[in-house]
Amino acid sequence: MKKIIISFIIIIIFNNCYANVNYNNTNIEKNTILAISIPLIFIICYILIILEEKIKIKKSTISIFFATIMWIIITYLTKQSENSSLINFKIYEILHKYCELLIFLLITITYINVIKKTDIIDIIRNKIAKNNISYKKIYWTTGFLAFFISPIADNLTTALFASSILISMESKDTKFLNLATINIVIASNAGGVFSPFGDITTLMIWQNNLVNTKSFIYTFLPSFINFIIPAIIMNTHIEKKILIIENKKVQIKNKNYIIIPLLFIITIIMTTTIQIYLKIPAIIGMLLGFSLLEIFEKINNFKNKKKLNIHEEIKLIDWDTLLFFIGIMLCIGALSIIGVLEKISIYIYKDMLENTNIEIKHIIANTLMGILSAIIDNIPITYALIEMNPNMPENQWLILTLAVGTGGSILSIGSAAGIALMGTMNGKYTFMSHLKWSWSILLGYIISILAQILINKYFFM
């Protein structure tokens, strides 16, 4: 863990060495071979990622392999020009952004993993189930848990947490598990939109100062609409079945463990406060929160027989997903440096609706980007849009935040939550089973966008 952090600090230092230099990538953008080969490689990469389960190759392996190939081709074909400094700068810039995301995710997921070790999760499960529980109650409880935990714990971690509660109560009924898992994916993605920490997409938009911390609350109602509409539709197809669940007696072995969730909440508050009032990177707050957890570990292990090992919990993190992100960010960076993203931006945000009112044009473009995020995955879409940097006011970035944060729910491959649960549900939740309900998710998506437009018009200042 320490070696990883030190390595990325070195990357940031190198990145800052390039930061004050301006470069012109005109020669790269005019290279016809790059204009054809790089997008083609990107398409092949994504097709293989979608087919991950069939070809039995991890998505991180695929994304990193093709990302490195893309950058090698770019470097080789432009080595005679004066663009080596630009290429190096771009790579360091991507690694810099990934470093911040990685630290945020490592700390957040570590906190969740440590909380699981305290038996608090089992106590929550017993409170929900008691001695018997209906399918519908499980469905709605896990859905609402996902929606309201996601703003704090990020949608990926929340989806894994909620699905583990789901599986602990019912592990056999494929039809029910599929519907409940889809509901968790939608709820996790929707809940993550109204907080900077709820999703990697909101985190990236927030880190780039495109949406103010306080402004995220304006997406709460549209996010809830996005979740509740498909949830109500799918609820009509859930059996009225009662499960008899044997509750095991669970109690927290060490009462001091109740401090851990409180430390997590304090970490989130500190991070937000530092960013707003001190105007320094919010990552300082997260690192401070992580250090508090380590201090608690030392005090606990000195006084109690029941030991905590935070660094053991870090080993349990889904590194395949985290490494997948760096591969995708490098791929998008390659598309950016050859000018593809700029051309897409100009077409969608300018040329596509040339004679349309600028506000309506932005709304349509942002809505389309959200739908596109279901096909391409909302993380690279958001990164690409930040790279494009379309000239929009904050209220339009709010619509875009809602769109890319929830549009990924339309397909199972459109979000980290969906991708992760396809891997953990052992065939009970698949691309095709999710696709069956995409129409209801799309309906909720469109209505939520309309709600955000009205809120922007009458309430957002």
pLDDT at position 177 is 92
pLDDT at position 29 is 64
Upper half-sphere CA count for residue 317 (Cβ side, 13 Å):
23
pLDDT at position 25 is 55
pLDDT at position 13 is 44
Residue with tokens 């906190």: 111
For 277-297, b/e burial (b = at least 16 CB within 10 A) is: eeeeebbebbbebbebbeebb
pLDDT at position 410 is 93
Output the six-digit token pair for 82: 């004066």
pLDDT at position 440 is 95
Sign of CA dihedral 273, 416, 384, 28: positive
Closest residue by Cα to residue 184 from 204, 221, 157: 157
CA separation for the pair 110, 6 (Å, rounded): 18
7 CB contacts (<8 Å, ≥6 apart)?
A: none
Amino acid at 345: S
pLDDT at position 117 is 75
| CB contact at 8 A, 63 and 324 | yes
Distances from the Cα of 183 to the Cα of 51, 145, 299, 451, angstroms: 23, 11, 40, 21
CA separation for the pair 55, 413 (Å, rounded): 16
pLDDT at position 324 is 81
Domain ranges of the chain: 2-458
pTM, entire model:
0.73
* Residue ranges for the chain with pLDDT beneath 50: 1-2, 5-6, 8-23
pLDDT in tens, 102-151: 887 788 778 878 887 777 777 777 777 666 788 898 999 999 999 998 88
pLDDT at position 156 is 79
pLDDT at position 458 is 84
| CB contact at 8 A, 127 and 230 | no
pLDDT at position 6 is 46
Angle ∠(239,442,167) on CA atoms, nearest 5: 40
pLDDT at position 27 is 61
